[in-house]
């Protein structure tokens, strides 16, 4: 990952990036100089992104984008 700011941008806009870029962003944040509180926040965010990504992949064509 180029820098910490880019890694944070990736985490806040996950739909614009690939799975590999998301994983690299998570690693960059966990290895970066941020306080532990923020590292835990972004780890939780990364896990939610992965869960949602898995759920979306398994439900493609079954329900609409907004769940309707």
Q: What whole-number distance in Å separates Cα of residue 30 and Cα of residue 54?
A: 22
pLDDT in tens, 45-61: 999 999 988 777 655 55
Q: What whole-number distance in Å separates Cα of residue 4 and Cα of residue 26?
A: 10
Q: What whole-number distance in Å separates Cα of residue 32 and Cα of residue 4?
A: 7
What pLDDT is stored for residue 45 in this prediction? 95
Q: Give the three-state DSSP class for 54.
A: helix
Both tokens assigned to 49: 């992104």
The whole-model pTM stands at: 0.75
pLDDT in tens, 1-46: 668 999 999 999 999 999 999 999 999 999 999 999 999 999 999 9
């Amino acid at each position: 990952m180029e820098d910490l700011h880019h890694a944070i941008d990736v985490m806040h806009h996950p739909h614009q990036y690939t799975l590999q870029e998301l994983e690299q962003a998570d690693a960059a944040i966990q290895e970066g100089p941020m306080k532990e509180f923020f590292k835990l926040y972004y780890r939780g965010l990364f896990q939610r992104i992965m869960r949602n990504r898995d759920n979306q992949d398994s439900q493609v064509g079954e329900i609409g984008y907004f769940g309707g």
